[in-house]
Amino acid sequence: MRFSFLLSSPCLLVLTGCSALVNPDESELARVDTGPVATTDSGVMRIDAGPGPTDAGPARDGGPLADDGGSPPTDSAPPPCTDGMRSCDGDFAVVCVAGVPQRTACPHGCDPGTMECAPPPMACPGVVPIAIGDTLFVDLCGTGDDESHVGSAECTSSGRADGEDRVFTFTLATEADILVDMRDADGSVAIDTIAYIRSRCGNPESQVACSDDILCSESDIMTGCMGGLQVRQSRIRTHLAAGAYYLYADSFDYRTSMGGTFACGTVRLSLTTP
């Protein structure tokens, strides 16, 4: 009996173990089968999907197209100015070099006549300010014969304006048309007038306008006409650029063949815009 018990006992143990292997619990199989498949299979898919974005990188080769497109507009642009061309821009002298405007600051302003920097102003003793709209009565006697005009189409006299003279200065903030009227206003002596304007004080070559006589038909002075010209009145009509100018009230000193005398005296000088 003891032997039979010993034999049956191991058999039961073996059978029990066999029973566990042959007939396992279904829930255990589910856990074993589903776990590795889900984890392992899904991991590989993520690894394979990775090279997609990396392969797309060579699209950057298209970049040079943008660089090549920049040249035509630059090459086709016309030069901003013509070489050698000069102009004044306020107190700057501008000259075109290789198609590019070069600006130079002018301490004494840009000369509108030469389109270059003006030199330092020369001494102009006794200069008197005059403004647009002013009318002055000026005594030329005792002022001295310091200046004279430069002969031009408006002032054909080649001789020196040898009478006494005075100089006035005015400034234009912007370009403008101006009218200067100078006439004999002295009741005791006849005055042969001449007026001229310079852009630089004391420099005859900077003369920009001049008037000696006017037609008798344009004057309201009844006496003093000589050869159809009224020598006792001068009138300047001109257009000036912005800047400083010097107005000279000058005269001639002489005797005529008829015994008349022209000398210094009082003149009326007006500066207006027509």
Strands 225-226 and 266-272: unpaired
- Same domain for 203 and 111: no
Distance of CA 8 to the CA centre of its chain: 119
Quick one: 108 and 227 in the same domain? no
Q: What is the pTM of this model?
A: 0.55
CB 132 within 8 A of CB 271: yes
Q: What is the pLDDT of residues 156-184, one digit of tens each?
A: 666 667 788 899 999 999 999 999 999 99
Same domain (yes/no): 178, 102: no
Please list, in sequence order, all residues whose beta carbon lies within 8 angstroms of the beta carbon of residue 139, skipping any fewer than 6 positions away: 264, 265, 266
Domain extent at residue 107: 86-117
Which CATH number goes with the domain that contains 187? 2.60.120.380
In this structure, of 107-116, 151-160, 175-184, 240-249, the range with the lowest mean pLDDT score is 151-160
Q: Are residues 147 and 257 in the same domain?
A: yes
H/E stretch holding 248: strand 243-252
Whether the CB-CB separation of 68 and 97 falls below 8 Å is answered with no
Q: Do residue 113 and residue 202 come from a single domain?
A: no
Q: Quote the distance between the C-alpha of residue 168 and its chain's center.
A: 31
Same-domain check for residues 96 and 224? no
Q: What CA–CA distances, in Å, run from 92 to 27, 104, 105, 234?
A: 98, 5, 5, 34
Report pLDDT digits (tens) over 186-197.
Answer: 988 999 999 999
Residues 103 and 186 in one domain: no
Number of structural domains, the chain? 2
